[in-house]
Chain A
């Protein structure tokens, strides 16, 4: 039985576990139909031309992993940004783990999707927001069909959330292969501000496939900063489907740091539903071996006077492959749009490759849109310059690569994340850089 059949037939078993009277159950039933019709995307589809799911779909994934709560904080501490106080929503093999988490209902809700789906007091929010901006593509639909757990964050208006929220998914590897489908809903009301960190971490070399959907609503003048730390084991694959709906004058940013994993596909979609909106999409990708990272972004400018800034940097070694597919749509009404997109790549091996493709669909006439992509090698003259000052080849390379990704890090607002990321970069490049980054 292939994975698609297995998932479709598992849906019946899934229905036995969940409350079929829940208002979202119709949504789930619709979604499994959509998935059944469409199936997993193949390379025949334009958006999947350079990313094949074939090899990762062939494992016999357990789709309902057994409950496993045996992790101690000390075992997994390093995967947290532990040097800061934060709220934490932690899952182990898809199940919520209270002893590693710190949730709250004190003047806001930082808790679980399962609770939000079950309890009447969340019903209104769920009705208004759940699955409202996630597209009906096959993978998001698959997630919707099985949506039952994940993070639920609702920040009411005029609230500055004083500490970041970490959403962490651990896969224990207790089963030979596991598929996880977290579903997150984040609603940030007027004038509120929140910072969120998301991480998926497999603890063994057993294959893991995560197909996650995150819906984020940044309402009027809200500020949302989202950081995705993708540094998973090389048998773990991630399909991240994130949808952000922005209302007027809101400011939203997503930074994606992709260093690990076997195959990572980021479907990142911004919808600007209001004026004077600011959207930032930034990413640093540093991979090697046979790793694959695909950034598939969409910024849809719907109303006038908005901005978007995209800046993705990639460094590809060994036989690693990368894809950047950045789509910007500017509606006819969206005059005075400022849309900026850059994708710069360095290939440090002959066998590494990157496919980069900007797609601009501009229907308004009074707009400023720029895009640029570069693919290059490390600058040899810069290498010689540094080496002539006593900086060895490896460190010189690292310093150049660090410098290359530096401006993406400069917009990171949580210093501990910046430190962590630079540390990961240094580790990735196998060096200790002679100064504090």
Chain B
């Protein structure tokens, strides 16, 4: 196994699947000759040519519409949105069209588009280069929403996304692009969509999280251990469809749950998780479910460190559910 960063793993997933499946076509801004602003597509334009690696105009709605048209006719488009923040001009194509094709045509028109987008904060990018839009897409029936936290999952989940019969929003935590390093299986490798991963076993508190917050949870768990508290961490990996049994299992074991994400709190994905936990595990709970999230504000540029959940805030929540 080779040690890779998350961005290298993404690149390997794209290259491998393009090699195996001639229907896979990439499109996006600056992804061709330039290799993408985060270099996710480096070398692919040279290797697979401009027809399969399309440098698009600055036009997100057009990119998504083009991808849908390709997908309806047998191609496997993977659209890159340069930053998840720039997905909103394409929101209509995604929410009104892409998510609804299969449903409204009673199964005649599946549109298996993968949308890759660097998501989240941590690079001092300010309001328009740091947002976490996952809740909008989870809220839209018909979409699969994925967010890896490790290089191996980055590769395996992206390969599965490119084989999924349904559209996938594949959010890549950009803060981890180069900081997450790990062993990645070589050759053909996939990780099933819809399956969570227990990052760390524990008995006292369940932390349920995903993406760039997984390492934060690990930091908090290590600190908690020093206080004699055993934290279990579940990395959801696929937000929707949710591996709700994995959440049940963990919470019913520990009786205490902290949900952790960097997106704003109100109507964030954590709100759905907390509801599911109380609906399904009510009699196991020893404390109310606690949320650690970003603020209910736009992403505040110079106050990024304060906005983003960190080890301290997570640890406070862990202590909070223990002492309830």
Q: Do they bind each other?
A: no
